[in-house]
Structure 1
Amino acid sequence: MNTTEERLVDALRSVGDTVSPEDVPPPRFTERRRAGARRPVLIAAAAAAAVIAGGAVAGGVLPSGHKDRRPVAASTGVRVALFLCTRQNRNDNCAGRDVTERQKADLNASLDTDRRVRDVVYVTKERHWEQFRARFKNTRPPALPTTSPESIPPMFIATVGRADVKAFMQFYLGRPGVDTVVIEGR
């Protein structure tokens, strides 16, 4: 296994250790997808998970305004990414529309007042795309030709206490403008 695969395996183990099946809501889609349409989405999802596992909060991310909170050591907190909606998302929550500025502002305000959140940053769509391109430029087969900048979502990355992860995920999953919520690997 290469480093990316190892990180993905670690991320999946982390999710398995933290979230049980009854904590995950049922899928919100009702229509069947075309077989050809899934490949770019799967590549983008895998790439996004790898970017998070590799440390998506490298330079170029914007703090969301949490002035009174200090970054938390990895041993005392879990980093959770809230991937926001793009037009490519087909779940009912996104309905094929990009997250609105109002939805981003509402999420930012909610994260800012959420006592479970110890630290949070906002990663723009453009910065997330730059990180994706840098990380996967040499992959075989190349991921870039099948992935477009429009399919890479903006995101919030929040650090929450280990005991609060399940409640945090349940609260934000399904909120307007949120496509999915993912726990970063340990």
Structure 2
Amino acid sequence: MRLRRAGGSALLIECHDGEHVEAWRAELWRRRAAGELEVTDIVPGARTVLLDGVAPETAALVESWPEPAPAATADGPLVEIPVTFGGEDLPDVATRWQVPVEEAVDRLLATPLTVAFCGFAPGFAYLRGLPEECAVPRLDAPRPRVPAGSVGLAGAYAGIYPTASPGGWRLVGKTSQNLFDVRREPPALLVPGTRVRLVRA
């Protein structure tokens, strides 16, 4: 772990990989809930965790803590997302995986996913859990409009578009699940640490 200052009131923890990020995210949330850490926000990323709104002495405090051990299994709440498979890029994904389309769907259904971090758009969760051999590249050119609820793959992540927007992920299905609602607390259905299971709609 490497700790750097970010602006006047933030700290950035640089991590080795996504599992290291999740370990720090869970530990920081635990310490905040226990009153051991005063911070405005904890924002995980692909390989970093940002602590925003911290006191000057927080850096020394965080550096004094032992490295958190990666959890054997994710223990966040489980959310099942009903998906109708048949996205326009599903045949291409199956070809890249060198399996029939139905086997590609079965692989997605059997893969336990976890929200690593959120970004790109409100309510857009980057879901980790796909093995490295299932990573697929983004499209060479993004689509000008991807419908809300589209389930896609990019790199080693799966993701679901909460609203219609441009996007370059490879689309494998669609859900009617409402992922972001400003009237809900929290507004995003999928927050870091949440376990996600794709199920047939």
Work out which of the two has the higher radius of gyration on C-alpha atoms and give 1 or 2: 2
Higher relative contact order (CA 8 A, sep 6+): 1
Q: Which has the higher strand share?
A: 2
Q: Is the pair's TM-score, using the shorter chain for normalization, greater than 0.5?
A: no
Q: Tell me the TM-score normalised to structure 2 length.
A: 0.27
